[in-house]
Chain A
Amino acid sequence: MADKPMAQQAAQAVPSGGAVRRASLSVHIMRFRELGLLGFVVLLALLVQWRNPSFLTLENINDLLRNAAILSILALGMMLVIVTRGIDLSIGATLALSGMITALTVSANPGMHPMAALLLGTAIGLACGSLLGWFVARLGILPIIATLGMMNVFRGLTFTISGGKWVSAHQMPDSFTGIATGSILGINTLIFIAIVAYAVFHYFVNHTRTGRQIYAVGSNPEAAVISGIPKERLLWLVYAIMGALSGLCGVLWVAKFASAQGDTAMGYELTVIAACVLGGVSIAGGVGKVSGVLVGSLLIGMLNNALPLLNVSPFWQTAIQGGIILLAVLANVWVKRSVDRNHLLRRRI
């Protein structure tokens, strides 16, 4: 709020005319760091719309959001993990495990309330995440190694529990698949859950002591410990949250596709990490915003939705996807750099 008048002052104080113009331009940009990315999203949307007019229809936007909902929820948890300088490669496996156990439970008890299924999945994910958090926080195992190991353990468990079999649509009651097709207040349940998750995370990250402490641990672990921040407990918490979200998404995934396979979401963790990095979360830790992650997830969701609409050769699709992600990151970095330059400008005065 206080940014704007201060920045205007700064702009006026700069002597040369050219600099004034550049600075005031940056002032507007500065109000939203992820503007570069957002601009890119809008540009891409217009481009796709020009190629295929059915892109910006209500139905397609609904489909897009529905497909991106799970990714965006996972990206929130991943953001916290990356902010603490960690990484979680096990989320795809956790998602599959929770989805498989929930699907088996639901097919055995068709009368189960959908809410109970969601809670069960979240609890399984929480257990997986807590175990991981314990490994990382207490035993001090490098996150990449701990999560890589547990990824295989969870994936193996999924196969063992299911006996290699799939749980198919005809084994799931309508109330369960209804989780993904139903709506709350006129909004699809998946999208609704994502919105709630973003609201809660926005508050948690920006307005609670624990939320701020997570960033402190990420940007300078030593200083955080010296100033009395319980680093171990926070690390554990971060992985537990990630696990719980993966568990929740496992149920959503299975309900959405009406099928639970052993290899559900294999490799999905990389997409989630990509969404985070796109959204400006720094792998080096300490940096990451909820709004950025949202835009990053939306961009990936948009690519997945738009590429089938454009008549491009399947051989080109992945290359185009990679190229666009790279361009988006470049655009974002460029905008951020000009923002930082503006910050430096202000500091001198």
Chain B
Amino acid sequence: MKRRLILMLMFLLSISLLAAACGGNNNSGNTGNSGASGTEGNSSGQAEAKDDTPKKHAIIFKNAGNPYGEKMIEGFREAMAELGHEVIAKAPDQPTAEAQIQIIEELIAQKVDSIAIAANDSDALEPALKKAMDRGIKVLSLDSAVNANSRLVHVNQADPERIGRTLIQAIHEMIGGEGQIAILSATSQATNQNIWIEWMKKELENPVYANIELVKVAYGDDLRDKSVSETEGLLKSYPDLKGIIAPTTVGIAAAGKVLTDKGLKGQVQLTGLGLPSEMAEYIESGVCQWMYLWNPIDVGYLAAYAADALVKGDITGAVGETFKAGRLGEKSIVRDGEDGTQIMLGDPFRFDQSNIAEWKNVY
């Protein structure tokens, strides 16, 4: 009995060690060269002074092992390498706000100069991020925003209005201007998708689209099996359906697979936002003529230049300020909602048969 108990405890211990080791691997990032912190001191007092000594810039993504997030971090590193700063990249094992709060606390203790975060929750991180800002750390969010109180500025991967309107324009062109369309979204709670869908509906109010009818917004919850069932449901409930817009990576790939399997290429058009690698098969076969996504490398790249400008004091996060973002050129800060500010990356990037081959191996 005793032996069994000890064995069980040993097993549990080894499991937790393993888990910790895995987590450590994923989180390690680039944390070398910590000796520099001693000479820098706390930068809060001298933030306005422009000095070119290397700074420590941190980026936190939603969860580890996400290829999209890795590309974003890659862009962040690229820009920081150009600027000559040090990067600390972190991501929790699970996409939870709690795990991110823990990482923020660690970064505050490490006295980093800026934190760029893709948030798992827009409100839950507020206390931790406020604490960071009180210590003089410049906080900005990218990809997935935190609320306006907990950041100086947000780097928006794509203008929600441009995405919504572009997708409707695309489906309008694909189906020849008339017929029923449906939207296959992620979860009914997904903030990004809901804003894009709102803009799609606004674009549809334009009399140009009088002959297009949006019949349903279905939610595939970003799960393969549910997205497939929802797509099949759409096709059966609306036999005259002409087009599907799926503004989510799992959804658009699942819809592409269903349309391929059912031999509906050409009869039901598909567009939306998707990962080039996931969609290459369907773009090359013509099931989806073209689709959009922003370039995550550029999102990270822009966030890095914004972080640098904040630390140097070139910008403070107020509307109307401008700064140079390396190869992306001049960017300006615009209003976001009632009290927030943001930097827009620009129009979504179009992937079609002409360029998918070069992008499918990128991300």
Contact = CB atoms under 8 A, between A and B. Distances in A.
B297 to A, nearest CB: 15
Contacts of A102: none
Contact of B224 (A141, A162, A259, A314): A259
A73 B18 CA distance: 31
Given A305-B232, A309-B233, A169 B280 contact: yes
7 contacts: A141-B8, A152-B19, A160-B22, A166-B67, A170-B280, A170-B360, A308-B234
Nearest to B25: A160
B205 to A, nearest CB: 23
B327 interface: no
B253 A164 contact: no
A145 B216 CA distance: 44
A308 B22 contact: no
Interface string A118-157: 0000000000000000010001111001100100110010
A257 B232 CA distance: 13
A338 interface: no
A152 B360 CA distance: 30
A259 B216 CA distance: 26
A165 B70 CA distance: 9
A187 B216 CA distance: 32
Nearest to B233: A308
Interface string A274-314: 00000000000000000000000000000011011101001
A258 interface: yes
B50 interface: no
A162 B219 CA distance: 28
A54 B236 contact: yes
Contacts of B229: 67, 304-305, 307-308
A181 interface: yes
Contact of B228 (A57, A67, A146): A67
A277 B37 CA distance: 58
Contacts of B236: 52, 54-55, 57, 59-60, 309
Interface in A226-249: none
Nearest to A148: B15
B15 A152 contact: yes
Interface of B: 4, 7-8, 11-12, 15, 18-19, 22, 25-26, 64-67, 70, 187-188, 216, 218-219, 224-226, 228-230, 232-234, 236-237, 239, 253-254, 256-257, 261, 275, 277-278, 280-282, 284, 360
Given A149-B15, A309-B233, A309-B237, A258 B281 contact: yes
B270 to A, nearest CB: 14
Nearest to B224: A257
A302 to B, nearest CB: 11
A264 interface: yes
A164 B363 CA distance: 11
Contacts of A165: 67
A264 B8 CA distance: 29
Contact of B188 (A135, A166, A314): A314
Given A145-B12, A258-B257, A315-B188, A170 B64 contact: no
Contact of B261 (A166, A181, A315): A181
Given A145-B12, A164-B65, A170-B284, A264 B224 contact: yes
Contacts of A145: 8, 11-12
B70 to A, nearest CB: 6
Please provide the 6 A-B residue pairs with the shortest distance between their CB atoms, ordered closest to farther: A308-B233, A164-B65, A169-B281, A170-B280, A314-B188, A149-B15
A210 interface: no
Contacts of A311: 216, 237
Contact of B232 (A63, A164, A166, A171): A63
Contacts of A135: 11
B287 to A, nearest CB: 10
A164 B360 CA distance: 16
Given A164-B67, A169-B280, A259 B253 contact: yes
Contacts of A201: none
Interface string A59-74: 1100100010000000
A161 to B, nearest CB: 11
Contacts of B224: 257, 259, 261, 264
Nearest to A158: B65
Most interface-central of A67, A258, A262 (chain B CB within 10 A): A258
A55 B229 CA distance: 13
B12 A149 contact: yes
A259 B275 CA distance: 12
Interface in A62-88: 63, 67
A168 interface: yes
A151 to B, nearest CB: 10
Contacts of A146: 11
A169 B253 contact: yes
A262 B280 contact: no
A242 B237 CA distance: 37
Given A169-B278, A170-B281, A314 B237 contact: no
B225 A67 contact: yes
B112 to A, nearest CB: 24
Contacts of B66: 164
A75 to B, nearest CB: 15
A40 interface: no
Contacts of A192: none
Nearest to A172: B281
Nearest to B276: A168
A163 B18 CA distance: 17
A159 interface: yes
B64 A164 contact: yes
B280 A153 contact: no
Contact of A54 (B187, B230, B237): B237
Given A141-B7, A149-B11, A168 B277 contact: yes
A141 B232 contact: no
A262 B278 CA distance: 14
